[in-house]
A and B are shown apart, each in its own frame.
Chain A
């Protein structure tokens, strides 16, 4: 019987995990431990509802409701001196809880502090764009849309950024296979040569290092390689691999290794 493979998360899985293994946790600390963060959290709490907040690895993490993201980031920028949005993206939790977690990584240069605003959205929901507050969100939100399919309301140019405009599927979803899906295999063939050339060219192999171990014809024929499609008889001549070091380079006539000097000084 074939082993069961979940379809909602096709990422690589650990092939062995001890039954009694309990993962340790990165410690979380109370926000009260840090004066600056406690003050910032007070400011956020005065404006919107905070679902959870803690400090992890020296940075505060605040969970808010998705509809409040614009308000919170505006507050952080204008009142709390968090002047830069260093990074934002999403985490795919579709398999576990049916949605995405979105994080905004903020930086305050005056306070020398970093904090992370996090929120959870359900599948198919859009977020409010924060592009008007931070121009860096322009490209980040496009990337998030490209990779996860999460749209940002009010974004001026909600198009793909890394993948081609006519691509189908969102590569960073856990349901998207690492080697690409059916669409990816035919994308370039269809686009450049047309659908009718599919039979001649075949699907694109996106894993160049892949060795097909069931290919009994071509696998491990090192030194006896034949062009693709050639019928293999088993009497292929050996492909001689000549290295120029062995017999010398044919163009160089007067080179003698004994007379040559190796320069050690790098500042020659």
Chain B
């Protein structure tokens, strides 16, 4: 027997008395170009949006609550599920926050590997952005091209950590593994081809009449608006603020590599598109330099991958298997978890989407007392409230596309 379904539409019991021709369009939460579970309630006058009301929470899993009930290392795979397009950058943000809290210094080789992973993730994320946004606008070829290239990177990552999307490739205190033998050759092959690939996308899009019409002068975010709404990453740089945390507050070895911070003062969709393309080029530049850095660490015999801090980080496997004290430490760290000092830390890193921040309040226990995840996409979704009014319905799709929001991160 079928049970009668009681769910009724939200507006069913409301009578519309006003005669102002205003129509309410419910966009999502299952719309293919909403890039996830975004529900927009759009008030329309003819085809123009007069009021937009983004509704989120359809992917809310309560990660902050989960973190309060987990030991620090247990939480690492959960961070993968935030920005699942570039999950290593979430792993890294969390690892760095805990390391700053306990004052750990990570070995140089691990730092180089982390930077490689972060930049690969950035290119992966930007390729994914390009593919989906181009598909939303109708450029099927770009979608296929960009997904092909992204696949190569996912293969490399899969060779490193065994996973393609949810990597969990970074640990608190370093990285678990050295990169595999084929990693550098594969990466070099990819990087050598990347400029030509980016050129291909640009040839298809830069002078494309449809692309320009959908992108130029659409979704313009002023500098003041971007700052006020807490925008970060490409969204902020496209609005004329040259702020890149890798450059301004360098972490890892970003102060040793050379790269530019592209920015634009236009603030429209097209500026953001240019931002993603230029950032891919800069990431490739960084990756070439990290390959050299990695080879130098190999030459100098720096083989350590995890920090030496017996109170917080397990000893290498060889020590655990041969030395009693290391085994005891490892046992305690796995069953009870590490206990960071009492204190508070807020650490921001530049994830592909923007400023990814982890606020941790530790009370000396094995579980964080409070963990706040500052996900860039949360505010990039919020800005739609102010950004969409004045635009037409088709612009909604291209604006959502260029804001590059990921709902794993918005709802957490």
The reply on B262 being an interface residue by CB < 8 A is no
Q: Chain B, 147-188, contact with A by CB distance < 8 Å: what is the 0/1 string?
A: 000001001100000000000000000000000001000100
A163 to B62, CA, bound (A): 10
Could you say which residues of chain A place their CB within 8 Å of the CB of B362? 26
B342 touches A163 (CB 8 A): no
A109 touches B243 (CB 8 A): yes
A14 touches B361 (CB 8 A): no
- A residues 63-96 with Cβ under 8 Å of B? 83-87, 89, 91-92
- Of the candidates A17, A26, A87, A109, the one whose C-beta lies within 8 Å of that of B342 is A26
Q: Nearest residue in B to A136 (C-beta to C-beta)?
A: B230
A136 touches B65 (CB 8 A): no
A246 to B128, CA, bound (A): 36
A31 to B275, CA, bound (A): 38
A109 touches B248 (CB 8 A): yes
Could you say which residues of chain B place their CB within 8 Å of the CB of A12? 68-70, 367
A84 to B357, CA, bound (A): 14
Contact (A23, B60) CB under 8 Å given A14-B365, A266-B189: no
Could you say which residues of chain B place their CB within 8 Å of the CB of A147? 64
A161 touches B341 (CB 8 A): no
Could you say which residues of chain A place their CB within 8 Å of the CB of B189? 265-267
Could you say which residues of chain B place their CB within 8 Å of the CB of A176? 65
The reply on A209 being an interface residue by CB < 8 A is no
- Give me the interface of B with A, judged by CB distance under 8 Å: 3-7, 56-57, 60, 62, 64-66, 68-70, 100-101, 103, 152, 155-156, 182, 186, 189-190, 193, 225, 227-230, 232, 241, 243, 248-249, 336-337, 339, 341-348, 355, 357, 359, 361-367, 369-370, 372, 374, 378-379, 382-383, 385-386, 411
The dominant DSSP class at the A interface is: loop
B348 touches A86 (CB 8 A): yes
Chain B nearest CB: distance from A230 CB in Å?
A: 19
B345 touches A192 (CB 8 A): no
Contact (A134, B228) CB under 8 Å given A109-B241, A109-B243, A139-B382: yes
A191 touches B342 (CB 8 A): no
Chain A nearest CB: distance from B1 CB in Å?
A: 10
Q: Nearest residue in A to B5 (C-beta to C-beta)?
A: A192
A136 touches B345 (CB 8 A): no
A114 touches B341 (CB 8 A): no
The reply on A197 being an interface residue by CB < 8 A is yes
Q: Chain A, 105-118, contact with B by CB distance < 8 Å: what is the 0/1 string?
A: 10101001010100
Q: Nearest residue in B to A206 (C-beta to C-beta)?
A: B62
Q: Which of B229, B337, B344 has the most chain A CB atoms inside 10 A of its CB?
A: B344
Q: Nearest residue in A to B100 (C-beta to C-beta)?
A: A57
A152 to B101, CA, bound (A): 31
B346 touches A114 (CB 8 A): yes
Residues of A in contact with B, size category:
35 or more
- Of the candidates B6, B366, B411, the one whose C-beta lies within 8 Å of that of A193 is B6
Identify 12 residue pairs between A and B in the complex whose beta-carbon atoms are under 8 Å apart, listed by A's number: A14-B337, A14-B339, A26-B341, A57-B346, A87-B372, A87-B374, A91-B370, A92-B370, A160-B57, A172-B65, A191-B6, A192-B7
Chain B nearest CB: distance from A242 CB in Å?
A: 25
Q: Nearest residue in A to B368 (C-beta to C-beta)?
A: A11
A231 to B90, CA, bound (A): 47
9 more contacts with CB within 8 A, not counting A12-B68, A57-B344, A266-B189, are: A11-B68, A13-B367, A26-B101, A26-B103, A61-B344, A91-B369, A109-B248, A134-B230, A265-B189
A83 to B224, CA, bound (A): 9
B152 touches A267 (CB 8 A): yes
- Of the candidates B56, B337, B339, B359, the one whose C-beta lies within 8 Å of that of A23 is B339
A214 to B372, CA, bound (A): 36
Q: Chain A, 234-268, contact with B by CB distance < 8 Å: what is the 0/1 string?
A: 00000000000000000000000000000011110
B60 touches A193 (CB 8 A): no
The reply on A194 being an interface residue by CB < 8 A is yes
Could you say which residues of chain A place their CB within 8 Å of the CB of B359? 87, 89, 103, 105
B6 touches A25 (CB 8 A): no
A104 to B232, CA, bound (A): 17
A107 to B357, CA, bound (A): 12
Could you say which residues of chain B place their CB within 8 Å of the CB of A13? 365, 367
Could you say which residues of chain B place their CB within 8 Å of the CB of A86? 230, 232, 346, 348, 355, 357, 374
A59 to B337, CA, bound (A): 27
B193 touches A85 (CB 8 A): no
Chain A nearest CB: distance from B185 CB in Å?
A: 9
B228 touches A136 (CB 8 A): yes
Could you say which residues of chain B place their CB within 8 Å of the CB of A14? 336-337, 339, 365-367
- A residues 163-203 with Cβ under 8 Å of B? 163-164, 171-172, 176, 178, 191-194, 197, 200
A160 to B60, CA, bound (A): 13
Q: Which of A87, A107, A192 has the most chain B CB atoms inside 10 A of its CB?
A: A87
A162 touches B230 (CB 8 A): no
- Of the candidates A56, A136, A192, the one whose C-beta lies within 8 Å of that of B379 is A136
Could you say which residues of chain B place their CB within 8 Å of the CB of A25? 341-343
The reply on A4 being an interface residue by CB < 8 A is no
Contact (A114, B348) CB under 8 Å given A57-B100, A192-B5: yes
A87 touches B346 (CB 8 A): yes
Could you say which residues of chain B place their CB within 8 Å of the CB of A134? 228, 230
- A residues 113-166 with Cβ under 8 Å of B? 114, 116, 134-136, 138-139, 147, 160-164
The reply on A16 being an interface residue by CB < 8 A is yes
3 closest pairs, A vs B, by CB?
A26-B343, A23-B364, A136-B230
Chain B nearest CB: distance from A96 CB in Å?
A: 9
Chain B nearest CB: distance from A262 CB in Å?
A: 13
B69 touches A57 (CB 8 A): no
Could you say which residues of chain A place their CB within 8 Å of the CB of B56? 161-162
Chain A nearest CB: distance from B405 CB in Å?
A: 13
- Of the candidates A17, A24, A84, A161, the one whose C-beta lies within 8 Å of that of B57 is A161
